[in-house]
Structure 1
Amino acid sequence: MGMAIPVAPAAPTAPNAPTAPRPVPAAPRWAVLAAHAVTLTTLPAALWRIGVACGLPLGYTEAGFRRIRGDGWEGPAWLVLLSVLTEAAALLTLVLVRDWRLFSPRVTTAIAGTGAVVLAALWTPFLFWWAVPNAAMTETGHLLVGFVYLPLVAWAPLLAAVTVNYHRRHRR
């Protein structure tokens, strides 16, 4: 029959020899849900802006509506572009809970952490929206816009939580 092939004993590994990268644990369910929730926080404001771009005043006075939309196509185009870019930025949160690898974990954590800080500075003031009158809007419109933009306040803390989880799962 066949001859047995002798197997050499495994060579001892050197103390500083590189080891195979350890597998990254999967994101916990709460982090996946939080990442998906981020995409929903941007949706009401995006849909509201698209409605304004389509010609619906959605709470603006006549003068306020003319000012926000402008006279040409640039105003509506800007509102749609802003909505698309905002939603795209929110969708990037999903990178933190998937096995996708765009950058090194350190760079990804730095970008996401910086994003959370910027978003907190940008959207947290909307907690006080109702305390500041807006002459360009009707009373009902001012109330509506407050509720439409309020979910954006949750974007920063949700992103921060998912970022911390990402960092913990990827640290060596």
Structure 2
Amino acid sequence: MSRMSTPDATTAANSVAPPPRWAIWAAHLTTLAVLPSGLWRIALVLGYPAGYLDERFADFETLGAKVWMLTLSLVCELLAFLTIGLVRPWGEVVPRWIPLIGGRAVRPMAAVVPATLGAVALTVMWANVPWWWTYPHDDMTGTGDLVVGILYQPLVLWGPLLAAVTVSYYRRHRSPRSRVMAS
């Protein structure tokens, strides 16, 4: 018997209500919210000053800075992409290609707890972004300050979107007993 056909994996995949349309849209929107700031950092990696004054841009031309910015962009996008797992089948049954655990049902709290912690952390981390223009950015041109501020604004949505999708996932995956009690 393959791991994919084990009772708990099959049950997990078939016993949960489909996600609401708004949750699917919100999950996909998380990847788009992260994209503008990531593309801006990639522009820096490729040697475009992207709003920095020439003398300050030199700080970003080291190999270490380029590796850091590229890694940060990729990790942020991958983490945002994990939100889609909360509305897709691979958030209920681990894909078979993953060693050791592939084909097994995802325990709901194994997704809900890290997603909740991530949503709180992201909300706190990006809470000051709307006030970007109230802080001095002496290392940037006026246009660069404006553009970077605009590119980072969508990050404010990341935490709340993840929180909303997490609540939807939790509601769909809570035990039948707790659903009856909540009614």
Give the TM-score of the pair, scaled to structure 2: 0.79
- Give aligned pairs, total: 151
2:160 to 145, 157, 160: 157
Q: 1:111 offset after TM fit, Å?
A: 0.6
1:77 to 52, 55, 67: 67
In the TM superposition, what whole-angstrom CA distance separates every residue of 1:90-116 from its partner, at most 9, and x where no partner exists?
Answer: 000011001223441012111100000
Provide structure 2 residue ranges, at least 5 long, that are not aligned to the other structure.
Answer: 1-10, 95-105, 176-183
Q: Which residue of 2 aligns with 1:15?
A: none
Q: 1:73 offset after TM fit, Å?
A: 1.2
Separation in 2, partners of 1:43, 1:156:
15
In the TM superposition, what whole-angstrom CA distance separates every residue of 1:78-134 from its partner, at most 9, and x where no partner exists?
Answer: 111111111000000011001223441012111100000000111111111011011
Instruction: Tell me the amino acid that sits aligned with residue 86 of structure 2.
Output: L
Q: Which residue of 2 aligns with 1:118?
A: 121
SS state at 1:58 partner? coil
Instruction: Tell me the amino acid that sits aligned with residue 21 of structure 2.
Output: R
Provide structure 1 residue ranges, at least 5 long, that are not aligned to the other structure.
Answer: 1-19
1:106 to 109, 112, 120: 109
Q: Which residue of 1 aligns with 2:85?
A: 95
Q: Are residues 1:58 and 2:61 paired? A: no
Q: Are residues 1:86 and 2:72 paired? A: no
Runs of at least 4 residues off by over 3 Å: none
Bigger Cα Rg: 1
Q: Which residue of 2 aligns with 1:39?
A: 31
Instruction: Tell me the amino acid that sits aligned with residue 114 of structure 2.
Output: I
Instruction: Tell me the amino acid that sits aligned with residue 83 of structure 2.
Output: T
Instruction: Tell me the amino acid that sits aligned with residue 40 of structure 1.
Output: L
The two structures, once aligned, show a CA RMSD in angstroms of 1.4
| Farther-moved stretch of structure 1 (162-171 vs 94-103) | 94-103
Separation in 2, partners of 1:148, 1:160:
22
1:148 to 143, 147, 151: 151
